[in-house]
Amino acid sequence: MSSLRSHDDTWDIATSVGTTAVMVAAARAAETEREDPLITDPYARLLVTGAGTGIWETLLDKDFATKIESADAEAAAIFEHMGNYQAVRTHFFDEYFAAAVQAGVRQVVILASGLDSRAYRLEWPAGTTVYEIDQPKVLEYKAATLTEHGVQPKAERHEVPMDLRFDWPKALREAGFDAGRPTAWLAEGLLMYLPADAQDRLFEQITELSAPGSRIAAETAGHTAAERREEMRERFARFAAQFNLEQALDIQNLVYEDPDRADVTQWLNEHGWRANGVHSLAEMRRLNRSVELQHPHDDDAFATFVTAERI
């Protein structure tokens, strides 16, 4: 279990789980500014620089990777791998949404949406409604920042300021969600922050709200051996001290390493969905974004990208 989480914890964009949304947005900004980007997020940099974390802005420094390489080659490879993973993950779920709307789905729900900007940056067909569920302060920050810069969503966007541990289905319905219409759900960067029973309950609730033809995409929670977690924690501490990132959170302290967690693909196939999974490492290799690490994780440490359709 996590040492920094409790059953009733909360956060804004600059604390706890909230700051991980800034980290991911920084990775999207860095990817967007590459010569050969897999994804384009023109709003990621705005969302990072306005967050006031004083930490993840470092990732936007184009010389940062060079500094890491000169100090610690293995750390540089890990840093590159992390950035590539975020790019591949974003690309995969962008493609998922493209396929969903092509199939006629016009109702979208992004769970724990954080600084996800898909409602603003993807091309949505007319009549598409996007619901974003997250902590109130996180949603407030994103909307206010983008509005300040004149950025408007490309779909009808509805905020659902609700913690997923509470009665979010009721809040979603009250925001206009129609359980009788097919929905495209997304659980990206979420499941690792839930214990096993909460993960099961989340999928039960989604299933109850999903009409036939609905779709879901999810990033599973990887499992890292305790010895490897401690090794990475020590490396993180050395790295943070060397590059003045002591304020950065050790993400491992926010996630739940729960041995009872269900296999998402199997669970969905047993509960009225037709599901398939693509291992993230395989997707990274397919897109030529795989990085050779000196001490690679076991495959179980990396997520699987799962997609499913409601039967």
Give me the chain's average pLDDT, please.
88
Low-confidence stretches of the chain (pLDDT < 50) are 1-5
| pLDDT given at position 3 | 41
| pLDDT given at position 5 | 40
List domains and CATH numbers for the chain.
104-310 (3.40.50.150)
| pLDDT given at position 244 | 66
| pLDDT given at position 74 | 79
Q: Are strands 304-310 and 215-219 parallel, antiparallel or unpaired?
A: antiparallel
Whole-angstrom Cα Rg for the chain: 19
Structure-token match 């693509």, residue found: 278
Structure tokens at 199: 């993960």
∠ CA(200), CA(139), CA(255), 5° rounding? 40
On whether the CB atoms of residues 137 and 111 are closer than 8 A, the answer is: no
| pLDDT given at position 63 | 76
**Residue 267: CA count within 13 A, CB half-sphere:** 20
Report DSSP state, residue 181: S
Q: How far apart are CA 93 and CA 252, in angstroms?
A: 23
pLDDT one-digit tens code per residue, 68-123: 777 777 778 888 898 999 999 999 999 999 999 999 999 999 999 999 999 999 99
On whether the CB atoms of residues 86 and 27 are closer than 8 A, the answer is: yes
* DSSP alpha helix (H) spans, the chain: 16-32, 44-49, 64-71, 73-102, 118-121, 136-148, 168-174, 196-208, 226-242, 264-269, 280-286
Structure tokens at 2: 């996590």
Q: Is the pTM of this model over 0.85?
A: yes
